[in-house]
């Protein structure tokens, strides 16, 4: 039966009526579970909570929380209210969080650990997970009856950041219609249905786990279990998949490498109903793919997508003619081409830039119409990624045209690191690049030119970066050099540094 859903608030309410007792979500670590009916009631109460705090249609609600039921009910309540949800990864440093909030100017921010400076500039609600003031306990003071709010499917519903920002963040805005188009196509491609049981271990604040697991499961009326992160369940990974009868899990190359590094004495392929494991957000080395498949007897599916357009292509493991090393074929709603430097379609076998058209597109960049308009050529969105097609139109990823560093599936702007380094009193110039790393795929390496007569140790610069950027986005290696290589016009030659 094909259902004509217009938004995810409608979808949640539909399943709460059709399958009220079915378990929708389970928190592995706490043991808490919610049926569709109970979760829907929590969302209704949270909608009233948000309304009491002044949130209305079109307002932005920023959300910086760990993977939790609290995150999920706040996410879907914001959608139900006609507001715009703005998820921010819990791993961001205070300085970046402040920059994000200053940029988006949310009506309300739900934060786990708000700093005093942020609290002075923004309306903050500090979310507690336990004790007298626990968020879920507070919701009991609000009615669980659904508010009657109509939603326009072409209005904004989500605001995501594609990379960290010390200067100006790059905010990606999606409409209800765009999200529905992405998720429905993803469900068709992977064959998700009401029997789907997903394991979510990636951060809920990133588009990856939302677009590949949480929203698809809700779309088809399935179920999912989640953990705060992979680290906390890594030793029980296969047991969880077995016990919860998981048939889909989304990972990144870093997690695949972690799984390979742990000895699982109780692993038995025959005890799992999991047909394959999906891996996206960053290129997966073919060596690790083969090693994983040989060791565990499980196929790995390479996924390719963008923050601006969601899932675009994948090498579905059971498709006839699947080719190792490829990222497969585009989804049925995606018109994907490979452009040469002149914006023409490149011949078979020639490397060019991936360009796409899809009804799953984002609406635009927040407060940056010029950037949005400049991202298109001949009506196609230019991704900045390089690839080539073979005679069967199967796509092979080559690398990035842009200089983004992708660490563990997370985009890090080298300019962000450079800006922080040059603010140090001893640093004259800095340039950062991605360096291959077995665990994360890439880490940041920074080249630093010191000011004449100034001295500073590598340790001092490492500590300084961690304070300003947080551990994850800081460089893993710093090298002092005499001069940064540049073009005649003064642009840094990062290729030479690599």
Q: Which CATH architecture has domain 405-497?
A: 2-Layer Sandwich (3.30)
Within a 10 A sphere around the Cβ of 390, how many other Cβ atoms? 12
Task: In whole angstroms, give the CA distance from residue 138 to residue 149.
Answer: 23
Nearest-5° angle of CA 468, CA 472, CA 475? 70
Domain ranges of the chain: 8-389, 405-497
Residue pair 19/193 in contact by the 8 Å Cβ criterion = no
CA separation for the pair 146, 63 (Å, rounded):
22
- What is d(CA 330, CA 305) in angstroms, rounded to the nearest whole number? 10
**What is the mean predicted confidence (pLDDT) over 395-415?**
83
CB 469 within 8 A of CB 420: yes
Share above pLDDT 90 across residues of the chain, in percent, rounded to a whole number: 70
Q: What is the structure's pLDDT at 359?
A: 93
Tell me which residue of 189, 213, 221, 172 sits closest to 5, measured CA to CA: 221
Alpha helices per DSSP H over 252-353: 253-261, 286-296
Residue 164: pLDDT band with limits 50, 70, 90: very low
From CA 436, how far away is CA 179, in angstroms rounded? 33
Token pair, residue 27, equals: 């928190």
CATH superfamily assigned to domain 8-389: ANL, N-terminal domain (3.40.50.12780)
d(CA 109, CA 111): 6
pLDDT tens per residue, range 18-38: 999 999 999 999 999 999 999
Q: Are 315 and 322 in contact (CB under 8 A)?
A: yes
- pLDDT band at 211; cut points 50, 70, 90: very high
Is residue 231 scored above 70 in pLDDT? Answer: yes
Reply yes or no on whether the pLDDT at 399 is more than 90.
Answer: no
Q: What is the pLDDT of residues 421-447, one digit of tens each?
A: 988 999 988 999 999 998 999 999 999
The answer to whether the 8-389 and 405-497 domains have the same CATH topology is: no
Query: What one-character DSSP code corresponds to residue 210?
Result: I
The Cβ-side half-sphere exposure at 462, using a 13 Å CA radius, reads 8
The CA angle 138-144-149, to the nearest 5 degrees, is 115
**Confidence grade of residue 278 (pLDDT, cut at 50, 70, 90):** very high
């Amino acid at each position: 039966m094909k259902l004509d859903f217009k938004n995810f608030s409608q979808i949640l309410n539909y399943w709460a009526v059709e399958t009220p007792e079915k378990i929708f979500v389970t928190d592995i670590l706490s043991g808490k579970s919610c049926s569709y009916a109970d979760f829907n009631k929590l969302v209704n109460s949270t909608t009233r909570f948000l309304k009491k705090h002044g949130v209305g249609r079109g307002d932005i609600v920023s959300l910086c929380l760990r993977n939790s039921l609290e995150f999920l009910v706040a996410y879907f309540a914001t959608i139900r209210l006609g507001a715009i949800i703005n998820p921010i990864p819990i791993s961001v440093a205070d300085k970046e969080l402040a920059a994000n909030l200053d940029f988006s100017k949310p009506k309300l921010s739900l934060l786990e650990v708000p700093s005093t400076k942020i609290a002075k500039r923004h309306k903050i609600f500090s979310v507690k997970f336990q004790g007298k003031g626990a968020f879920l306990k507070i919701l009991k003071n609000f009615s669980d009856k659904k508010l009657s709010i109509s939603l326009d499917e072409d209005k904004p519903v989500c605001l995501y950041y594609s990379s960290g920002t010390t200067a100006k963040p790059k905010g990606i805005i999606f409409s209800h219609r765009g999200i529905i188009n992405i998720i429905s196509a993803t469900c068709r491609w992977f064959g998700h249905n009401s029997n789907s049981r997903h394991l979510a271990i990636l951060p809920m604040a990133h588009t990856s786990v939302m677009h590949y697991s949480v929203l698809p499961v809700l779309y088809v009326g399935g179920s999912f279990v989640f953990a705060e992160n992979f680290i906390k369940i890594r030793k029980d990974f296969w047991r969880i998949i077995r016990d919860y009868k998981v048939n889909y899990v989304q990972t990144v190359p870093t997690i695949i490498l972690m799984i390979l590094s742990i000895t699982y004495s109780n692993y038995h392929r025959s005890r799992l109903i999991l047909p394959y494991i999906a891996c996206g957000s960053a290129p997966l080395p073919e060596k690790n793919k083969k090693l994983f498949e040989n060791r565990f007897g499980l196929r790995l599916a390479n996924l390719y997508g963008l923050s601006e357009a969601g899932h675009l292509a994948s090498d579905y493991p059971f498709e006839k003619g699947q080719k190792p090393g490829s990222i497969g074929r585009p989804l049925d709603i995606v018109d994907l081409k490979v452009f040469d430097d002149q914006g023409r379609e490149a011949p078979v076998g020639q490397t060019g830039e991936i360009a796409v058209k899809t009804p799953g597109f984002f609406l635009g960049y927040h407060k940056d119409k010029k950037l949005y308009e400049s991202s298109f050529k001949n009506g196609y969105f230019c991704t900045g990624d390089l690839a080539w097609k073979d005679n069967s139109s199967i796509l092979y990823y080559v690398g990035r045209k842009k200089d983004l560093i992708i660490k563990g599936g997370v985009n890090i702007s080298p300019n962000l690191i450079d800006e922080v380094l040059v603010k140090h009193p001893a640093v004259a110039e800095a340039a950062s690049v991605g360096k291959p790393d077995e665990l994360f795929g890439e880490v940041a390496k920074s080249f630093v030119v010191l000011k004449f007569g100034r001295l500073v140790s590598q340790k001092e610069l490492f500590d300084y970066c961690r304070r300003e950027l947080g551990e994850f986005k800081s460089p893993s290696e710093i090298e002092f050099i005499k001069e940064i290589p540049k073009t005649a016009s003064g642009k840094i030659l990062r290729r030479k540094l690599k």
